[in-house]
Amino acid sequence: MFQRPACFPKKADLKKEIRAGITIFLTMSYIIFVNPLILSEAGIPYDGAIFATCIASAVATLIMGLYAGYPFALAPGMGLNAYFTYGVVKGMGYSWQTALGAVFIEGLLFIFFTILGLRRRLISSIPESIRIATPVGIGLFIAFIGMKNAGFIKASPDTFVTLGDLSKEGPLLSFIGLIISSFLIAKDIKGAIFLGIISVTALSAISGYVSFPERIFSFPKPSSFLKLDLSGIGEIFFWKAVLAFLFVDMFDTIGSITALGELGGFSKDGVLERMDQALMSDAIGTTVGALLGTSTVTTYIESSTGIAEGGRTGITAIVVSFLFLLSCFFSPLVKIVPKEATAPALILVGLFMCSRAKDIPWDDITEAFPAFLTLFLMPFTYSIANGLAAGFICYPVLKLLTGRWKEVPLSLWFISFLFFIHFL
């Protein structure tokens, strides 16, 4: 007998679902501007990055809506795109094509882990303190990059980093963007970050800092499509990148899905119904995104805005998917957005990601110190992988020395050993 799809329940309020979808899109649409700027620094063609960002987001979110039936939206993850550019390409010296290859392999591993149910088991072996510290560290990392792009800070031969020249037009525009976005957030205006980006872009165009586009409509240019390179698959550093993408995406996805499940009342006894379908949507999104030419795709916590608006089904996600697809045809508007307009978005997203620092058990040094190393080393070594490695190595060693080795699962010892070999 035919069964009604999970995304089309009988009691769905279509008006609420559509409104929720529009709300989510406005809240997270800053990724359309921010992601291409970050990926273009790795060498990915800007037009190709716009195409990949919009299409990967549309495809992954559509799968989430149709297959998992949840009002969750997906897009290239903040922090993961930073690791892609500054960690793998600029840090390790790999080409962006090889970095896309690492993302592709990570996506395939996620699909494999999800089918076997290993993804859930692996997550359960990660210490809660490090799980909490990971998004905090990524938030600090993202905010640091935002401060740099805004011109608020700059390199110094004496102190490594110092205050930038705030008298220039760029830092002033970014400061205005921060104030506008912060004010709108305080007033609970939907799409506050997006509106901040638009406001600064408009000011930049009016002041002559950027030029108005000759046209607003353009056909997509998939210049990064199928450009991934798997030739480095036999090298250990390639797999280091794969593991780093794997861990960060895992924490980000599970954390976001769990939080959204609780907020929307989709969980029973703390477990999300159709968890495997939601995880599979994320995994397929990452794999497809790598083929299109973007960094890891993940579930966005900004989906909470749509849930707050009454979104309860996959119809909400389908609406978000359609809006991402539509955005792909307006790349000339995206291309005039300066980095000074997106810098406030990076800083504020970093701020939001740091909010869970209060949940780290600071009174237990065996938990607090590995968590601190994790969140501290990410921004200050310009590497998410280094922060994760330090936390994973330190945690079991401290537990062993304090006689609490039974608190460390066998799988965590294995992960720690892999990171230790990497450092050696």
What pLDDT is recorded for position 178?
93
Which tops the pLDDT comparison, 370 or 275? 370
Average pLDDT in the 147-170 region? 88
State the helix-helix crossing angle for 30-40 and 339-353, rounded to 10 degrees: 110
Q: Where are the beta strands (DSSP E) in 179-264?
A: none
What pLDDT is recorded for position 103?
92
Tokens found for residue 303: 């989906």
End-to-end CA distance of the chain: 59
Torsion of CA 27, 32, 33, 38, to 10 degrees: 120
What pLDDT is recorded for position 362?
94
- 158/127 Cα distance (integer angstroms): 38
- 249/396 Cα distance (integer angstroms): 22
What pLDDT is recorded for position 299?
86
Positive or negative, the CA dihedral 249, 251, 252, 257 is positive
Tokens found for residue 79: 């922090």
Sequence-distant (≥ 6) Cβ neighbours of residue 87 within 8 angstroms: 241, 244, 382, 383, 384, 385
- 387/384 Cα distance (integer angstroms): 5
Distances (CA, A) of 163 to 150, 155, 158, 345: 11, 9, 12, 20
| Residue 72, burial from CB neighbour count under 10 angstroms (0-12, 13-18, 19+) | buried
What pLDDT is recorded for position 3?
47
Instruction: List helix spans (H) across 117-220.
Output: 118-125, 128-150, 169-186, 192-207
pLDDT tens digit sequence for 5-33: 555 666 677 888 888 888 788 778 788 88
Average pLDDT in the 120-146 region? 78
Average pLDDT in the 311-332 region? 88
- 177/345 Cα distance (integer angstroms): 9
What pLDDT is recorded for position 114?
82
Which tops the pLDDT comparison, 273 or 366? 366
Q: Which of 305, 316, 307, 318 is nearest to 266 (CA)?
A: 307
Q: What is the DSSP string of 276-318?
A: HHHHHHHHHHHHHHHHHT-S-EEE-TTHHHHHHTT--SHHHHH
- 377/340 Cα distance (integer angstroms): 26
| Phi, psi torsion values for 312, nearest 5 degrees | -135, -5
Q: Which of 151, 130, 87 is nearest to 346 (CA)?
A: 151
User: Does residue 397 surpass a pLDDT of 90?
Assistant: yes
Mean confidence (pLDDT) of the chain: 83
What pLDDT is recorded for position 271?
66
In the chain, where the domains are located: 14-355
Do the beta carbons of residue 422 and residue 240 sit within 8 Å? Answer: yes
User: Does residue 73 surpass a pLDDT of 90?
Assistant: yes
Residue 344's CB is within 10 A of a number of other CB atoms, namely: 28
Query: What percent of the chain shows pLDDT beyond 70?
Result: 91
What pLDDT is recorded for position 16?
84
Do the beta carbons of residue 277 and residue 265 sit within 8 Å? Answer: no
| Phi, psi torsion values for 217, nearest 5 degrees | -110, 140
Average pLDDT in the 343-363 region? 85
Query: What percent of the chain shows pLDDT beyond 90?
Result: 24
pLDDT tens digit sequence for 209-242: 888 777 778 777 788 888 888 887 877 778 878 8
